[in-house]
A and B are shown apart, each in its own frame.
Chain A
Amino acid sequence: MMRTVFGALRVVRFGHIVKRFQYECLRAERACLFTVLCVNIVQAFLYEVHSMGMTMSEKILAVHAGRDTVSPGQLIEAHLDMTLANDITAPIAIQEFRKLGVNSVWDNSRIALVPDHFTPNKDIKSAEQAKYLRDFAGEMQIINYFEVGKMGIEHALLPEQGLVLPGDLMIGADSHTCTYGALGAFSTGVGSTDLACAMATGKSWFKVPGSLKIVLKNRCRKWVGGKDIILKIIGDIGVDGARYMAMEFAGDGIASLSMDSRFTIANMAIEAGAKNGIFPVDTRTEAYVQESMKSGRRSDRYRIFESDADAEYEKTIEYDLGTIEPQVAFPHLPENTKNISDINEIRIDQVVIGSCTNGRLEDLRTAAAVLKGNTVASHVRCLIFPATQNIYLQALREGLIETFVEAGAVVSTPTCGPCLGGHLGILARGEKAVSTTNRNFVGRMGHRESEVYLASPAVAAASAVTGVISSPDAVVK
């Protein structure tokens, strides 16, 4: 009798639950113990509930922890595919690494060291820090150390060099390490001590994050791209709207987004407090990855993870990309966003186009399209920073650099310098800048009474021409 009942029940949607349920019932039937049946049914139900689908973030963490499943809140230790530090964070990491009493690193091909923040050295102290990093790289025979002249801003450089692949688990001693989620990797920023221990062991501990799903639909309007999308999201959910969470992007709108736009979006997941940002892998991702792997720096195969249809999300938010207009985040938080059409005249002193957020080729092409045939306003300094040497070279070959110089902009070697008020383009008291970077905190780009307005390369370039915060439509007819 029971077989008939459960045979009929199997047609329902929850076939796998019913199957287990049926199995336990049949066991109980043979034992003729109704109580056993009841207990087993409850157990089976709990098992099935527990083994609900997983998100792609959870799957990557589970695989690297050698587990079948993980769930939000769980603390795990997991193996890493790649680690990263720069000239600010590596020195402390090296000091802590020395305390561990080991003579060598876990794997000299899986540690990327990039002197990009205060380089080319801004002063003697910075030079000492860069030297400390360089000496350590030499001592440990770090293969992926990138000297000035070969380096770039780390979060543009590592994907370009094929050092991060889909399905990777990676940590970096820089908060914008979340950028690599654009490739379908689980990637997150940590401090120097975490990195020191990872350099020695190849492992790190993680609290499995809950996930926030952001569904992107349709296509962006002209002059709207990744920066506007992520600023819009942060404006809506706030700078702690995704605190401790995985920010997972989904939806048909992703297909139309370039890899450069996806990097920009994942890059700023941290500005909503997220642990990581992550995109599904599609043909565009794979084309990018296969090109980057020609560097030969990684020879292992990448893995593509997809979120299950029944994966659990703490919240889901939908965006129609076609309704988003260029965004500007006002001082002093990235959540202070406004539509470009709602902004009254704000006179600016400086424009910065570049950084790990917006220093890629697409960004430079956009800026050049706006600046072409125009001139930077007489009261504005316009600074442009290609993010890597390769991007710089390509921009040179495409004539973008010529366009910038002709427009009256200056073009710099790759560096994080101005983004964090480190060097090059520091603001004086009371000055205002439009910047394609990622943070506009108090004092971020210089004097504590200066102001940073975050925007896309298109808005930044247009503002450079007009001298006030402007839509590209105001410049390009």
Chain B
Amino acid sequence: MQQKGKLVFKGTAHKLGDNIDTDVIIPARYLNTLDPDELASHCMEDIDKNFSTQVKRGDIIVGGENFGCGSSREHAPLAIKSSGVSCVIASSFARIFYRNAINIGLPILESRTASEHTRSGDLLEVDFKKGTITNMTSGESFVSESFPEFMQEIINMGGLVNRTKQKLEGNE
């Protein structure tokens, strides 16, 4: 989901590999809290101890295949979002993570070519309206997979809770 009025993100890429699992994104030993800042402080710590201190607001995570595989913990996209990451691009997403990200408003895009042609430190510009990813460092541009209409509706309505609330209130 895009932040309201925010359709273009520019940030530095953090390139990760295939099968980045939810235990790596936020180890289960920290799931005894709902505090987003505390979750963010442990994000990715088992593969990169310095991630939480080095990540800058607006940075972009670029994963490989099956990003977010493993547990259904919503703490995973929450930890990423709270760490300041503006969006996640991956070759493919595990299905529960994909669903959770949409539901909680973590912008995500699927693009195998963008993932393959991005290196850590590259400056990326992501345009959600056009569905494009531009690697400002290399000058290459990529088109992402588009969201199905139904998913776009959830995104446009500000997440699943808002959509459900409007339906319950009979506004749809």
Contact = CB atoms under 8 A, between A and B. Distances in A.
B34 A95 contact: yes
Contact of A420 (B23, B34, B65, B92): B23
B31 A88 contact: yes
Interface in B143-172: 148, 150-151, 159-161, 164-165, 167-169
B72 A102 contact: no
B47 A442 contact: yes
Interface in A97-142: 99-102, 117-118, 122-123, 125-126, 129
A191 B168 contact: no
Given A239-B66, A240-B65, A422-B28, A194 B33 contact: no
Interface string A79-102: 000000000110110011001111
Interface centre among B21, B28, B159 (most CB of A within 10 A): B28
Contacts of A125: 32-33
B168 A194 contact: no
A313 interface: no
A88 B19 CA distance: 23
Nearest to B71: A175
Interface centre among A193, A197, A273, A275 (most CB of B within 10 A): A193
Contacts of A207: 148
A174 B65 CA distance: 22
B32 A89 contact: no
Contact of A191 (B47, B96, B150): B96
B44 to A, nearest CB: 11
A448 B69 contact: no
A196 B104 CA distance: 12
Contact of B159 (A175, A193, A243, A422): A193
A255 B123 CA distance: 56
Interface in B52-88: 65-66, 69-75, 78
Nearest to B97: A191
Contact of A273 (B33, B69, B103, B169): B69
Contacts of A117: 31
B99 interface: yes
Given A95-B34, A126-B32, A421-B29, A443 B24 contact: yes
A343 interface: no
B16 interface: no
B8 interface: no
Interface string B18-30: 0101011001110
Contacts of A197: 160-161, 164
B165 A240 contact: no
Contacts of B159: 193
A123 B31 CA distance: 12
A129 B19 contact: no
Interface in A357-377: none
Given A240-B19, A441-B24, A191 B72 contact: yes
Contact of B164 (A75, A122, A200, A443): A200
A189 interface: yes
B95 to A, nearest CB: 5
A323 interface: no
Contacts of B116: none
A185 interface: no
B100 interface: yes
Interface of A: 75, 88-89, 91-92, 95-96, 99-102, 117-118, 122-123, 125-126, 129, 172-175, 177, 189-194, 196-197, 200-201, 205, 207, 239-240, 243-244, 273, 275, 333, 420-422, 426, 439, 441-444, 448
Interface of B: 19, 21, 23-24, 27-29, 31-34, 45-47, 65-66, 69-75, 78, 92, 94-96, 99-100, 103-104, 148, 150-151, 159-161, 164-165, 167-169
Given A126-B32, A240-B19, 20 more contacts: A75-B148, A101-B168, A118-B31, A122-B32, A173-B72, A174-B71, A175-B71, A190-B96, A193-B100, A194-B100, A196-B161, A197-B160, A200-B164, A239-B66, A243-B66, A273-B94, A420-B71, A442-B23, A442-B46, A444-B28
6 contacts: A100-B164, A101-B168, A190-B72, A193-B160, A240-B94, A422-B29
